[in-house]
Structure 1
């Protein structure tokens, strides 16, 4: 018996793009589109009604933008487990940081290849943060340009291995990739990430990414 497909809500103000994304997603066996929304307010409403696993969120929409919609959905305790993957044609710094601060689990550009998009949805559902390579570069550049920051006391509670895992998470690596880089099992990677989430009081991997960059862990290595 096959596993239940990942349920996806598509939020974008362009009907043609919504239709194209729906066709792409529904052509897979493990993903399914449960609804579509054209405005920020409609996205929040449908997110609460349909309770999808992943919301593919555009940023610039009428009726409340994707940032505010993301903030409302991720801030709703009744929607625990629902994740937001931002899909935008803009890679402007303010959009990236605002999306992450609002609780988005990842940020992908609309020029991504179809397979990249499908993989991003799957990884987002698994709880892995996903960022387009250009976005990771912008994050590094942004934090390199900032004055040196003081290492948060919470990071002092991390073991050396947990810190190594945190750095790899911030670099956008998947669990499989982290296991390969550090020479440990995937089960061990998951254990370390669970410890990181608990010790840093982070909701998901995206928050771990923010913590790592703000602490200078990635820029320093």
Structure 2
């Protein structure tokens, strides 16, 4: 491998690590934060884990299809928190007309994922944390086309599969083994977000009590 190719490989790996590490960390932090605010959601998820995984076992990817409520919680965290509220920059390759608007060739295009995820007309109550919105009457996950945390199209997030697996394993394992609560005599932490390269929660404390 020549020097230029090696440098390019290093930069590509760095991009993947930085993007994947920060978004994964922020999503899990928000998931823990929302469990503090919604203990009933946490209990429901733990009941599902107890039935499907069982005491003494640990969640694995094979459990994903049978842990719909866990998956719905993660999806709702992604929707309401919008860790990456705007897509990466794209360029119009030719003059394009979208919904009556002309986008000239070479225009830089940034799509607002936040606007889609917080659209009141579609979601009804987008400001409310409600994982049930992603579960149908049969207890299966609803694949809503308005849910686009990884963007859309051929150039959607490269790490989507890795991210989904990582979030599921980390979050389900934490909930299966611990009860998440606020420190005694402490008020619930704020749901306010810090705006940076991505959105992340303000620093907060949580108590993890072993369930078994």
TM-score, scaled relative to structure 1 = 0.21
| Greater relative contact order (Cα < 8 A, sep 6+) | 2
Greater helix content: 1
TM-score, scaled relative to structure 2 = 0.22
